[in-house]
Amino acid sequence: MRWVFRLIGFVFVLIGVALVGVIFLPGDRIAQVAVDQIKAQTGRSVVLKGESKVSYYPVLGISTGALEIANADWSDKGPFMVADSLKVGVDLMALIGGEVKITGLEAVNPAILLEKRADGRVNWELGVEGVAPSGQTSGTSNALALSLDRALISGGSLRYVDHGAGSETRIGEIALDLRWPEYRGNADFDLSARPDGAATLSVTGDIDNLAALIEGDITDLSVTAKAGGGRVVFTGRAGLPNQAQGKVTADLPDTGTFMAAMGLAGVDLPQGLGRKATVAADLTLTSAMQLSLRALQITLDQNSFSGDVDVDLAANVPTVTANLSAGVVDLSGLAGSGESTGASGWSKEPIDASALGLFNGRAALNLQGLRVAGLSFGAAQLSATVEQSRAVVVLNQMAGYSGAFSGQVVANNRNGLSVGGKVRASAVEVQKLLGDLVGITRFTGQAEASLDYLGAGNSVHAIMNSLSGNGSVNMGRGTIEGIDLDSLMRKGLATGGTTVFDSLSASFTMEKGNLFNKDLLLKLPVISASGEGRVGLGAQDIDYLFSPKASSASNEKGVVIPVRIRGPWAGPKIWPDLEKAIDLNLKDEKDALREKAETRVKDKLSQELGVEVEEGQSVEDAVRQKIEDEAVKGLLNLLK
């Protein structure tokens, strides 16, 4: 707001120069004298269009026509300010007594252009010589006793161009009502404006000593900002530039709408990170743009946090350092609707990860629980780092699924969204974990597991179909519900039921959303089995073969039958693989029968066709050779 007070000082110069000859000169001449003096002191040309009028009693005042103030000489964007008219009224009796008491100041339809060059220069540094921003004459102790009964701005607009950032901001419908009856006394104001494409922002305030604030000192104040149904209140002490200390509270039912009204359009936070928010904290802001929030209580959607936060606002991207505690934090909204949608597979709803680019920083989080990506965890101590749209969360300690987890997970949105991690699980209950993770609930038991993974895409569907990595799992006693593998593999009976196993171990790799395993070892009470196949993590299907070990079958002196599982997770088909069973159980018999049949064929061919099958030669080759020999003989007989 410093540029506002510089403009006020600018107007004071206009008033002071005009009043010198107001009694002796006509309005147009008074205005021209003021214009010449302003140009001499500021280097900015002022053009007045239309007739300027002067009133003498009971209020001494001047009214101009259209007004235009030149821009800095390095700008080619047009005037610094234009207005349809400017009116100034002064208390004549107070003026005679040595005080400048402005009874009214009104600007109609002012349009202001603010510019910042790439080298840091700004066009609102007007350089009014001899006059402080407050309007006091510098270098003298005889300060003018200025006051302003009421200042009005209507129909204003503001355009801010940052040439270094290549950005442009427009604000319209600016209206200001300022009341400042005593120079070193209280002032209150009502300000409203509407940024392009945003809701109207209204700011009301009460300032204990406006003169002190303009001059750079500290003063008590309270300010309330409202937009889109949201409300932010600050009560405390503040000074210019950028100094504040006090209590801040906020109630934002729609954070995106409020931020857009504050000039930060396009902020769309995921559910759980503040689409609606409430805040209460002790705030301190230093002139170096260092913000601290102490005794912070913040609720972001359904999640509540408490602790301390420090923010470096001077950095190109705000840098946050936080130490927070919370109850159960629900971040399932980070992935939209991450759960499977039945027959249609994983959700294809786009994931908005733009929030990762809003800030950099580090945070320590102590949580009573965490829900994310369909998973539910218990007490957790986490540390998070966000840098250039890449977040790394280290699991220092995290309970869940009756066990514990460690490792780290990463979300990277620098060049499209990718997720990855290295996670270790100890003594976790697999039925609930696999159910939450991939919708499989047939397994029960505790497991030790490791998983290294990487996926990319802008939806859960894309990520699950791109997964790559590797891992392993080891289980003690457990069950597989809905299938009795022992009965199937030893008797060929598909009776449903439950498989009870003594141990299970496997390693796996992942590629393009498919999990491949070749070394599963399953030990059942009577027999053991190996397994290999593919699990479609993206397609949500399975093609897997359990093969009983022949040694176990021999000990039982029975038939063993491999079991094939194939189809969608929701309802896979499970049946005994008879072709594999024949290969496994009747290999010797098949070989003997094949040898016996081949011998009988050879004897028959020799007796009836005179075909002799030599060692190492197949029956087919022997017959072919016999036919070729007979054909050659016949051809030779024809040529004789």
Q: Please tell me the distance from the alpha carbon of residue 55 to that of residue 89, in angstroms, as a whole number.
A: 9
pLDDT at 181 over 60: yes
* Burial class, 640, CB count within 10 angstroms (exposed 0-12 / middle 13-18 / buried 19+): exposed
Task: Please check whether residue 59 lies inside any domain of the structure.
Answer: yes
pLDDT at 188 over 90: yes
- Judge if 158 and 28 occupy the same domain: yes
- Judge if 188 and 152 occupy the same domain: no
The pLDDT confidence band at residue 87, using thresholds 50, 70 and 90, is confident
pLDDT at 506 over 90: yes
pLDDT at 282 over 60: yes
Could you read off the pLDDT of 192-218 as tens digits, one per residue?
998 887 888 899 999 999 888 878 889
Distances (CA, A) of 589 to 492, 556, 582, 592: 20, 19, 10, 5
What are the two backbone dihedrals, phi and then psi, of residue 27, each rounded to the nearest 5 degrees?
-55, -45
Tell me which of 172-176, 207-211, 525-529, 614-618 is least confident. Answer: 614-618
Could you read off the pLDDT of 133-142 as tens digits, one per residue?
433 434 333 3
pLDDT (mean) for 304-332: 93
- Judge if 230 and 305 occupy the same domain: yes
Matching residue, tokens 């209204």: 202
pLDDT at 328 over 70: yes
Share of the chain above pLDDT 90, in %: 38
Which pLDDT value is given to residue 331?
A: 84
The pLDDT confidence band at residue 42, using thresholds 50, 70 and 90, is low
Share of the chain above pLDDT 70, in %: 71
Q: Which amino acid is at 93?
A: M
CA dihedral 509, 514, 518, 521 (to 10 degrees): 90
The pLDDT confidence band at residue 100, using thresholds 50, 70 and 90, is low
- Judge if 117 and 177 occupy the same domain: yes
Task: Please check whether residue 284 lies inside any domain of the structure.
Answer: yes
What are the two backbone dihedrals, phi and then psi, of residue 181, each rounded to the nearest 5 degrees?
-70, -25
Between 581 and 177, residue with greater pLDDT: 177
Which pLDDT value is given to residue 612?
A: 59
Matching residue, tokens 């089995």: 529
The pLDDT confidence band at residue 267, using thresholds 50, 70 and 90, is confident
pLDDT (mean) for 467-487: 84
pLDDT at 5 over 60: no
Write down the mean pLDDT value for the chain. 79
Tell me which of 165-179, 414-428, 623-637 is least confident. Answer: 623-637
- Judge if 103 and 205 occupy the same domain: no
pLDDT at 493 over 80: no
- Judge if 87 and 230 occupy the same domain: no
CA 437, 438, 444, 450 torsion: positive or negative? negative
Which pLDDT value is given to residue 26?
A: 54
259 three-class SS: helix
- Judge if 209 and 146 occupy the same domain: no
The pLDDT confidence band at residue 34, using thresholds 50, 70 and 90, is low
The pLDDT confidence band at residue 114, using thresholds 50, 70 and 90, is very high
pLDDT at 496 over 80: no
- Indicate the residue among 168, 183, 198 that finishes a domain: 183
Could you read off the pLDDT of 580-632 as tens digits, one per residue?
655 655 555 555 555 555 556 555 545 554 555 556 555 555 555 554 555 44
Closest CA to 362 of 334, 397, 331, 391: 391
Task: Please check whether residue 325 lies inside any domain of the structure.
Answer: no
Could you read off the pLDDT of 144-166 as tens digits, one per residue?
455 677 888 899 999 999 998 88
Half-sphere exposure (Cβ direction) of 55: Cα atoms closer than 13 Å: 14
Task: Please check whether residue 331 lies inside any domain of the structure.
Answer: no
Closest CA to 279 of 309, 248, 253, 301: 248
- Judge if 175 and 249 occupy the same domain: no
Which pLDDT value is given to residue 7?
A: 56
Between strands 85-91 and 99-108, the pairing is antiparallel
Q: Which domain holds residue 151?
A: 1-183
Task: Please check whether residue 350 lies inside any domain of the structure.
Answer: no
The pLDDT confidence band at residue 409, using thresholds 50, 70 and 90, is very high
Task: Please check whether residue 346 lies inside any domain of the structure.
Answer: no
pLDDT at 558 over 70: no
Q: Please tell me the distance from the alpha carbon of residue 296 to that of residue 245, in angstroms, as a whole number.
A: 14
Question: Does pTM top 0.75 for this prediction?
Answer: no
- Judge if 154 and 226 occupy the same domain: no
- Indicate the residue among 165, 183, 201 that finishes a domain: 183
Q: What angle do CA 163, 167, 171 make, to 5 degrees?
A: 115
Half-sphere exposure (Cβ direction) of 89: Cα atoms closer than 13 Å: 13
What is the tally of structural domains in the chain? Answer: 3
- Judge if 8 and 117 occupy the same domain: yes
Distances (CA, A) of 297 to 129, 309, 312, 355: 47, 11, 20, 21
Which pLDDT value is given to residue 85?
A: 86
Q: Please tell me the distance from the alpha carbon of residue 179 to that of residue 152, in angstroms, as a whole number.
A: 9
pLDDT (mean) for 272-300: 93
- The answer to whether the beta carbons of residues 238 and 244 sit under 8 Å apart is yes
pLDDT (mean) for 241-259: 90
Between 531 and 144, residue with greater pLDDT: 531
Which pLDDT value is given to residue 610?
A: 55
- The answer to whether the beta carbons of residues 240 and 159 sit under 8 Å apart is no
CA 494, 498, 502, 503 torsion: positive or negative? positive
The pLDDT confidence band at residue 47, using thresholds 50, 70 and 90, is confident
Task: Please check whether residue 170 lies inside any domain of the structure.
Answer: yes
- Judge if 179 and 217 occupy the same domain: no
Q: How far apart are the first and last CA of the chain?
A: 121
What is the full DSSP assignment across 196-244?
A: TTSPPEEEEEEES-HHHHHTT--EEEEEEEEETTEEEEEEEEEETTTEE
Matching residue, tokens 């990520």: 463
- Indicate the residue among 162, 183, 204 that finishes a domain: 183
Q: Please tell me the distance from the alpha carbon of residue 116 to that of residue 402, in angstroms, as a whole number.
A: 58
Task: Tokens for 557, please give them.
Answer: 């002196």
- Judge if 130 and 258 occupy the same domain: no
pLDDT (mean) for 110-126: 87
Which pLDDT value is given to residue 141?
A: 37
* Helix, strand, coil fractions of the chain, as percent rounded to 5: 20, 50, 30
Which pLDDT value is given to residue 413?
A: 95
Which pLDDT value is given to residue 142?
A: 36
Task: Please check whether residue 252 lies inside any domain of the structure.
Answer: yes
Tell me which of 230-234, 294-298, 553-557 is least confident. Answer: 553-557
Helical residues (DSSP H) of 313-445, grouped into ranges: 430-438
Q: Please tell me the distance from the alpha carbon of residue 103 to that of residue 332, in angstroms, as a whole number.
A: 58
